[in-house]
Amino acid sequence: MDILTLFIIVPIITVIALVFSKGLERARVVSMIGSFIQLGMAINLLFAYLREIKVNSDIMVFTKDVVWFKNFNIHYNIGVDGISVALILLTAIVVLAGVFISWKMKELPKEFFISLIVLSLGVYGVFISIDLFTLFVFFEIAVIPMYLLIGIWGSGPREYSAMKLTLMLMGASAILLVGILGIYFNSNADGGALTFNILEIAKVNIPIEAQKLFFPFVFIGFAVISALFPFHTWSPDGHASAPTAVSMLHAGVLMKLGGYGVFRIAMFLLPEGALHWSWFFIILAAIGVVYGAFSAIRQTDLKFINAYASVSHLGLVLFALLTLNKIAWNGAIIQSLSHGLLTALFFALIGMIYGRTHTRDIRKLGGMMKILPFIGAIYVITGLAYLGLPGFSGFVAEMNIFVGAFQENSDTFNRILTILVVSSIVVTSVYILRLVGKIMMGPLETNDVNDLPKATWFEKTGILLLMIPVIGIGVAPFWLSEMIMKSLEPFIQGVL
Amino acid sequence: MNFSSFLLMRQEIILLTIILLLLVAEISISKSKKQSIVHLAIFLFGIHTIVGFLPIESGKLFGGMFHSNELVHFFKNVLNVGVFILLLQSADWLQEKVVDENKGTEFFILLFSSLLGMYFMISAGDFLMFYLGLELSTLPVAALAAFEVTKRISSEAGIKFILSAGLASGVSLFGISMLYATSGSIYFDDIITMISATNLTILGFVLFFAGLAFKISLVPFHFWTADVYEGAPISVASYLSVISKGAAVFILMILFFTVFKTLMHVWENIVYVIALATMFIGNLFAIRQQNMKRFLAFSSIAQAGFILLGLITGTQLGTATIIYFVMIYIFSNLAAFGVVQAISLKTGKENMNDYEGLYRTNPNLSLVMMLALFSLAGIPPVAGFFGKFFLFTAAASEGYYLLVFLAVVNVTISLYYYLLVVRAMFLRTSDQAIPYFKNKLYMRLGLLITVIGILVIGLYSPLYDYIFELSKNLN
């Protein structure tokens, strides 16, 4: 079994084991073991990849190619580059942390963990696919469990949120399907056979008219899941209703599929389309960044604040990708990783606070630092990392993005937008610091606070799991930058 | 012509034998042992289904009236498997409700006669055989729809069906006579060479198409569907939506891709418009349905609209994707109808809000239903996704991007109402949830086969390759 297919096999085995496990105790242990193995495999993959690229100069390594539907030239074709390796590692970390955070899932635990693992399977599948069809299959597999996860285990208007989220994301993937078919039927433009293989299509000169026509389909199809303005409306509702681990996975991992897809499919395969349309979508992305940040200021529900902050930060990823600049691209990938970890941390902490105080309303919270010192301290650290304090991953990412976006080869239009987008940093500081000041440092708001339970071991494990890489990337970003930069080469050649 | 050439009609002959055997059994089995008729019929049909998979030669009989090739044979097998599953799912209903009224054998004889009609219809080599097959496949179903004579709604369904079916086949026959008038022949092979796009031919073609569109319940010939499905026994509704529709799609495809190939510039536009109308109307009406049978009726109308996306291509790819999709559709829809059947039989409940909290009381049934609905909605990794994706690919291969785009909009609409059922079963809890019950062996087997089909057909690519190879017979 090759090193990548295991990322499909292990979740499947975990799911099968979960089907036969009864009760919460078994289910959580099984899923913990399963996601531990995944994390082990992801770390192993990282080192194997670092070894491999020293001897192998292919774009994708660890490739495997099995014919699936031969009439359509559909292959089960997998492989990874530095970007996908980093994102796979992120996924493994967030999934394991998510399992720890859901340690006390009482209602239908087995089904909960099955949905969670299926979701992670879909995400791994997207990150390892080289074949458009396989990628699309995994993309949809990743989205659909969200309906059950939010609908069954959610809170508030869960049915509404789950339906809205599912319809918007599946609607987007339906649009994506048209784009994929458009790419497929133009993949023989140079006289070869029709193919779904990303690497082969990248070599083909797809007619410019077709690129211009299909770029918006592919772009929007992927960008909706990254909460591109004005298609972001599913995100606040979805996040607010979802249970903690699902918010973590969703904001931390699932939304990253959007940026990944935009980069790897839309921009890599349709570079002319990207050039043609970037001015339009970059405006949308910039609006998203600023709009998300300002909306976050106005919210009083902790989860809504974080959801709008995600709209803002992922808008930044799309913005950076569309600036068509390699340093900004590097920043976009690091931002994806950084935001994935930080937002998962935030949601985990919010879940813990909510589990203890039964409210997410910041007007009713205060002085948590005194009552819950561990959670409070981590919350402050996460907040600081989120607003881009040096020493944490957020700084590295945003620095790269803004430096790249403002470089000499960028035109006035891009520069004006960059200035606009940079201003969101200030707004981010406003809402994060206000939040920290009010609920952590502010006066106590509740009286029955002495019996709030301290953070348990599984909560701490989950938190630390996410915290370590945040600091790791912040302190020593170079090895990561280097790995990503190397993988950006084909994109730089193809698109710029 | 010698005796062995009759083996081309092996499927028909065996099915006819089964019908006759059941007649004899009906006479000879004493009233107290009538239950065994159900076992006997299922056993015999099971044998027939298995024997059907033996290869058959290609050829023609009766001077070209009847023809058979690998593709036609394969499709008869698909219908057989569908009917076999249907029988398994209906066995409990038959044993509990029908046999006591001494109508068990009638059910099988009518059902098998209708299937026999479909065999002849898809094997037809001329319009006469086609029309006879069409009638034979339709008339018994009217009797079946009115099978629960004590229920007013069932009789109503029977009357509605026979009236609209009669009108449709009359219109169809009118069309055929015009085609005969212009081409001078009723044999498909002759018409292929002689047909030309004169006004009378086009009029004849349109009338003919209207008759078949009724059977597939394409908009605007769909009005009977929901009422008949609702009134007829669930087994019959299931048969109408799955087997009858499948066979009609198949013969429509054969005729469009061979006889009417020269009229392609005409029917392209017709199919384009009807596909859109069928998808949109089917989907939008399905949203409002509460009764599960009506719900599935509109869902199956919408699915027929998707099938037209393959039809519009007129290519080998189109043929293959249509057959593949119809196959998947048969399994998915049978699974959905099977669950409705099981619940209705045990509790008499048929409304969507009766399903609330079903997962917590009957997890297995809910899972089957969810798989079926996901397959109908086209969500991977279940088979329906592959069926839809390939249909869209086929349509896009001929450049119908706008049609594909509108179709994917419809996929999203359909996802909404399929999720409504999932919502009732999984998301909601209810005090009046249907209590746990255990299905009998036949029903469980029937559902199991559909689930295996739904899970395997999509992922197992050699099956598609095989169908693609077979499709060469047509194009």
pLDDT per residue over B264-294, tens digit each?
888 889 999 999 999 999 999 999 888 999 9
Distances in whole angstroms, Cα of residue B43 to Cα of each of A35, A271, B18, B22, B39:
48, 61, 10, 11, 6
CA distance B420 to chain A (A): 9
Task: State the pLDDT at residue B281.
Answer: 92
- Answer whether A182 sits within 8 Å of B385, measured CB to CB: no
Q: Does A137 sit within 8 Å of B390, measured CB to CB?
A: no
Whether A175 and chain B come into contact, CB under 8 Å, resolves to: yes
Q: Which of A225, A218, A19, A232 is nearest to A113 (CA)?
A: A19
Q: Is B418 on the interface with A (CB under 8 A)?
A: no
Mean pLDDT over B256-270 rounds to: 87
pLDDT band at B337 (very low <50, low <70, confident <90, very high): very high
Residues in chain B: 475
Pick from B356, B419, B428 the residue to mutate for testing the A interface (most A CBs within 10 Å): B419
Tell me the Ramachandran region of residue A367: left when phi exceeds 0, alpha when psi lies from -120 to 50, beta otherwise.
left
In chain B, which among 425-454 make CB contacts under 8 A with chain A? Answer: 426-427
Q: Provide, as residue numbers in chain A, all residues whose Cβ is less than 8 Å from the Cβ of B404.
A: 177-178, 181
What's the sign of the alpha-carbon dihedral A225, A228, A234, A239? positive
The verdict on B279 touching A (C-beta cutoff 8 Å) is no
* pLDDT recorded at residue A408: 63
- B408 → closest Cβ in A148, A158, A174: A174
DSSP, collapsed to helix, strand or coil, labels residue B187 as strand
Q: What is the pLDDT of residues A4-41, one digit of tens each?
A: 888 889 999 989 988 888 878 888 888 889 888 999 99
pLDDT number for residue A274: 87
Of residues A137, A158, A159, nearest to B380 (C-beta): A137
User: Does B412 contact A69 at a Cβ distance shorter than 8 Å?
Assistant: no
Is the CB of B468 inside 8 Å of chain A's CB atoms?
yes
- Neighbouring CB atoms inside 10 A of A59's CB total 17
Q: What is the DSSP string of B7-29?
A: GGGHHHHHHHHHHHHHHHHHHHS
pLDDT greater at residue A476 or residue B1: A476
Q: Any CB–CB contact under 8 A between A452 and chain B? A: no
- Separation between Cα atoms, residue B87 and residue B307, nearest integer Å: 25
Across the interface, whether the CB atoms of A174 and B411 are under 8 A apart is answered yes
Q: Which residues of A fall within a CB distance of 8 Å from B376?
A: none
Report the distance separating Cα B345 and Cα B95, nearest Å: 11
Q: Which one of A178, A183, A212, A220 would you mutate to disrupt binding with B, by most B Cβ within 10 Å of its Cβ?
A: A178
Half-sphere exposure of B182 (CA within 13 A, CB side): 20
Whole-number Cα distances in Å, A232 to A244, A406, A477, B295, B399: 20, 26, 30, 31, 31
CA A293, CA A306: separation in Å to the nearest integer?
Answer: 10
Residues of B in Cβ contact (< 8 Å) with A181: 392-393, 396, 401, 404
For A235, the token pair is 């995100």
- For position A22, what pLDDT does the model report? 82
Phi/psi of residue A439, nearest 5 degrees: -90, -20
Q: Are B278 and B223 in contact (CB under 8 A)?
A: no
Q: Residue A14 is encoded by which pair of tokens?
A: 């975990």
Mutate to test the interface with A, among B283, B389, B429 (most CBs of A within 10 A): B389
Question: Which residue does chain A place closest to B402, by CA atoms?
Answer: A178
Share of chain B above pLDDT 70, in %: 99
Closest CA of chain B from A285, distance in Å: 24
Domain boundaries, chain A: 67-72+156-495
**Residues of chain A contacting residue B416, judged by C-beta atoms under 8 Å apart:** 163, 167
**Which tokens belong to A424?**
């969101």
Mutation for testing the B interface, residue in A153, A158, A181 having most B CBs under 10 Å = A181
Nearest CA distance, A150 vs chain B (angstrom) = 9
**Inter-CA distances, A91 with A223, A246, A309, B74, B245, Å:** 19, 13, 20, 45, 45
Beta-bridge partners for A66: A76
pLDDT of residue A448: 59
Contact criterion met (CB < 8 Å) for A144 and B401: no
Residue B53 at interface with chain A, using a CB cutoff of 8 Å: no
User: Token pair for residue A8?
Assistant: 């499909």
In B348-400, which residue ranges form alpha helices assigned H by DSSP?
358-361, 363-377, 383-397
- Distance between CA atoms of residues A24 and A254, nearest Å: 25
As for how many domains chain B has, the answer is 1
Name the one residue in this structure whose structure tokens are 């001494």. B102
Range of the domain at B42: 3-473
- pLDDT, one tens digit per residue, over B403-460 is 999 999 999 999 999 999 999 998 888 888 888 888 888 999 999 999 999 999 888 8
DSSP letter for A356, please.
H
Over chain B, what is the mean pLDDT?
89
| Angle of CA points B78, B83, B85, to nearest 5° | 100
ipTM for this prediction: 0.91
Look up residue A272 and give its two tokens: 């002319």
Instruction: Of B235, B105, B240, B218, give the one whose Cα is nearest residue B161.
Output: B240
Residues of B in contact with A177 (CB under 8 A): 389, 392, 404, 408
Positions of chain A with pLDDT lower than 70, given as ranges: 1, 408-410, 445-451
